[in-house]
């Protein structure tokens, strides 16, 4: 992601100038990115967007044009503008690999750098991680609903702009979609592209069968016909069968039909009967029509013989949950060469942060199934038996035995240098499937999923309680002091 140095909120820049002016620019700080609520009412999210984060960090430079624009705002002094001109990210970043199932409050990405650097990157990192994680998650839900049937993502025309359409196609592939209609995403990321024809193609010819024959002549080995322009069962399917048989007689392979409107269950059943009666047993039926995971699940439950699915608007916009809501919070700050834990307090319990430099440890049973996650401090190790407990409802406890563990976060940058080998997008998709297979089906249920266990380690829990107590005492001291007249 190039030329994104000004993809930031203005207050990041004003704070940076403030740090510089007051001598705080060299202070070390650690920030976590995490989300509080799982999107789509589901039981998991799938991390995505790391490749774009890496590209952003590696290309983060302020040009002369950028500096002149900021100078023209009459808000920034020349010392600060000079610092921007020389800016390079020289900090550390750790992150969860793309395709990893993640849960609320777990750090998806951690930045450890000078506060001057860490402040700048907040907005762009959130923008990239939030969106792609959201779409990858939605895509996996859609693929789950199909029972593993192929899903083509074709929401570009309904996406919230070109970047959302293109990065969304990438994220949807991570989530399990097999192809996209977005040719730019195909070129940039190697996502397989697919498509058929529009209703306008059918309407442009003297008759429906003329349109079908023209398409078959143009693409004899990629012929999948749209059959709902006029009447699916009385016109579209019979004409498609006739053209399909003509193709087969010429030695080509007829792919099948797509139904884009109407009652997909009824129409696909009847179409399947007609195709089979004509001997076109291998012809596929593709269903589309403003679908989401719930509609697909219901259609399949009714026995619709649909082989593949095209999903657009609801996927590329994650229509039912259009934002992930990830946040970027300070968790540690350098004092005299030592990183001290920091805590944000709120009357809203869900907004109280977890302090310190942390990691995520995932526990697996003998069969390789994920049992629980612990958000722990960076230097912690665990041996069995291990008792874990819910950080809110502390009486809820579980004893873990006979387990293996894995730290989910990986080093990405060290002192501004990338130390992470980027996998291909195909490797990320395969990894995502493998990782999701470690979750129990109950967690992946589309409606009322089982809540996966994510607890704080006892050491982190105690640190958090201690800091809360100290802050409470300080606040009470302020309240007890005499009022200034």
User: pLDDT (tens digit, 0 to 9) for every residue of the chain, 485 residues total?
Assistant: 678 999 999 999 999 999 999 999 999 999 999 999 999 999 999 999 999 999 999 999 999 999 999 999 999 999 999 999 999 999 999 999 999 999 999 999 999 999 999 999 999 999 999 999 999 999 999 999 999 889 999 999 999 999 999 999 999 999 999 999 999 999 999 999 999 999 999 999 999 999 999 999 999 999 999 999 999 999 999 999 999 999 999 999 999 999 999 999 999 999 999 999 999 999 999 999 999 999 999 999 999 999 999 999 999 999 999 999 999 999 999 999 999 999 999 989 899 999 999 999 999 999 999 999 999 999 999 999 999 999 989 999 999 999 999 999 999 999 999 999 999 999 999 999 999 999 999 999 999 999 999 999 999 999 999 999 999 888 887 666 555 43
3-class state of residue 270 by DSSP: helix
- The pLDDT value recorded for residue 480 is 62
Residue 104 lies in a domain: yes
- Cα dihedral 389, 47, 350, 116 in deg (nearest 10): 120
Which are the contacts of 71, defined by CB distance < 8 A and separation ≥ 6? 81
Is 122 in the same domain as 251? no
Burial of 416 (0-12, 13-18, 19+ CB in 10 A): middle
Cα–Cα distance between 230 and 241 in angstroms, integer? 16
- The pLDDT value recorded for residue 224 is 98
CB 247 within 8 A of CB 275: no
Is 75 in the same domain as 209? no
- Structural domain span for residue 404: 10-136+322-473
Would you say the pTM of this structure is higher than 0.85?
yes
CB 184 within 8 A of CB 211: no
- The pLDDT value recorded for residue 389 is 94
CB 345 within 8 A of CB 363: no
CB 35 within 8 A of CB 29: no
What are the Cα distances from residue 136, in Å, to 94, 109, 143, 169, 171?
20, 17, 11, 9, 5
Q: What CATH number is attached to the domain comprising 195?
A: 3.20.20.70
DSSP state of 193: B
Cα–Cα distance between 307 and 296 in angstroms, integer? 12
| pLDDT tens-digit series, residues 168-201 | 999 999 999 999 999 999 999 999 999 999 999 9
Residue 4 lies in a domain: no
Is the omega angle on the peptide bond into residue 385 within 30 degrees of 0, that is, cis?
A: yes
- Tell the residue number behind the tokens 């008792």, with chain if given: 387
- Tell the residue number behind the tokens 């874990």, with chain if given: 388
Largest CA distance in the chain: 97
Phi, psi (degrees; rounded to nearest 5) at 337: 80, 0
Which are the contacts of 40, defined by CB distance < 8 A and separation ≥ 6? 137, 138, 141, 293, 318, 320, 321
Question: Mind giving me the DSSP string for 316-339?
Answer: HTTTTS-----EEEEEEEEETTEE
DSSP state of 355: P
Is 252 in the same domain as 224? yes
Is 43 in the same domain as 57? yes
Cα–Cα distance between 176 and 199 in angstroms, integer? 28
Residue 2 lies in a domain: no
Nearest one of 143, 146, 198 to 173, comparing CA atoms = 143
- The pLDDT value recorded for residue 484 is 44
- The pLDDT value recorded for residue 481 is 58
Question: What is the residue-averaged pLDDT of the chain?
Answer: 96
Is 127 in the same domain as 165? no
- The pLDDT value recorded for residue 482 is 55
Q: Single out the residue in 316, 351, 374 at which a domain terminates.
A: 316
Which are the contacts of 441, defined by CB distance < 8 A and separation ≥ 6? none
Q: Single out the residue in 260, 286, 316 at which a domain terminates.
A: 316
Is 102 in the same domain as 197? no
- The pLDDT value recorded for residue 479 is 64
- Tell the residue number behind the tokens 């792609």, with chain if given: 132
CB 409 within 8 A of CB 107: yes
Is 370 in the same domain as 333? yes
The number of folded domains in the chain is 2
Is 119 in the same domain as 148? no
Is 346 in the same domain as 442? yes
Cα–Cα distance between 128 and 123 in angstroms, integer? 9
Cα–Cα distance between 11 and 18 in angstroms, integer? 10
Nearest one of 314, 43, 50, 284 to 177, comparing CA atoms = 314
DSSP state of 281: T
Nearest one of 424, 422, 388 to 403, comparing CA atoms = 388
Residue 485 lies in a domain: no
Q: What CATH number is attached to the domain comprising 430?
A: 3.20.140.10
Is 289 in the same domain as 366? no
CB 355 within 8 A of CB 343: yes
Cα–Cα distance between 311 and 296 in angstroms, integer? 10
Integer Rg of the chain from CA? 27
3-state helix, strand, coil in the chain (%, to 5): 40, 20, 40
Is 116 in the same domain as 81? yes
């Amino acid at each position: 992601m190039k030329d994104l140095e000004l993809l930031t909120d203005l207050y990041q820049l004003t704070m940076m100038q403030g740090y510089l002016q007051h001598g705080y620019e060299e202070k070390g700080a650690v920030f976590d990115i995490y989300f509080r609520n799982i999107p789509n009412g589901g039981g998991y999210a799938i991390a995505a967007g790391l490749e774009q984060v890496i590209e952003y960090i590696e290309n983060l430079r302020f040009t002369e044009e950028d500096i002149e624009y900021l100078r023209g705002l009459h808000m920034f002094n020349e010392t600060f503008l000079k610092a921007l001109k020389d800016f390079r990210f020289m900090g550390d970043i750790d992150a969860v690999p793309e395709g990893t199932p993640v849960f609320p409050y777990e750090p998806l990405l951690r930045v450890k750098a000078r506060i001057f650097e860490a402040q700048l990157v907040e907005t762009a990192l959130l923008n990239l991680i939030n969106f792609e994680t959201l779409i990858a998650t939605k895509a996996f839900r859609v693929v789950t609903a199909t029972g593993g049937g192929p899903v083509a993502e074709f929401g570009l025309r309904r996406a919230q702009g070109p970047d959302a359409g293109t990065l969304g196609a990438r994220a949807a592939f991570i989530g399990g979609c097999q192809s996209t209609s977005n040719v730019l995403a195909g070129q940039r990321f190697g996502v397989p592209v697919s498509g058929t024809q529009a209703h306008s193609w059918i309407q442009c010819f003297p008759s429906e069968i003329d349109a079908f024959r023209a398409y078959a002549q143009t693409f004899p080995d990629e012929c999948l016909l749209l059959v709902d322009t006029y009447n699916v069962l009385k016109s579209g399917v019979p004409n498609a069968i006739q053209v399909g048989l003509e193709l087969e007689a010429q030695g080509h392979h007829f792919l099948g039909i797509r139904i884009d409107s109407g009652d997909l269950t009824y129409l696909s059943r009847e179409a399947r009967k007609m195709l089979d009666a004509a001997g076109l047993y291998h012809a596929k039926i593709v269903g589309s029509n403003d679908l989401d995971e719930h509609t697909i699940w219901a259609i399949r439950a009714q026995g619709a013989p649909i082989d593949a699915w095209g999903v657009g608007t609801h996927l590329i916009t994650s229509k039912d949950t259009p934002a992930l809501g990830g946040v970027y919070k300070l968790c540690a700050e350098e004092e005299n060469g030592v990183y001290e834990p920091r805590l944000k307090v709120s009357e809203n319990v869900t907004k109280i942060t977890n302090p310190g430099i942390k990691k995520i440890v995932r526990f697996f049973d003998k069969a390789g199934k994920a049992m629980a996650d612990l958000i722990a401090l960076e230097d912690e190790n665990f041996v069995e038996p291990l008792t874990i407990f819910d950080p809110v409802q502390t009486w809820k406890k579980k004893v873990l035995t006979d387990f293996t563990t894995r730290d989910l976060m990986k080093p990405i940058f060290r002192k501004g240098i990338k130390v992470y080998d980027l996998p291909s997008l195909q490797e990320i998709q395969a990894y995502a499937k493998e990782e999701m297979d470690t979750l129990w089906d109950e967690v992946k249920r589309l409606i009322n999923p089982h809540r996966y266990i994510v607890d704080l380690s006892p050491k982190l829990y105690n640190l958090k309680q201690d800091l809360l107590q100290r802050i409470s005492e300080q606040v009470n001291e302020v309240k007890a002091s005499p009022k200034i007249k």
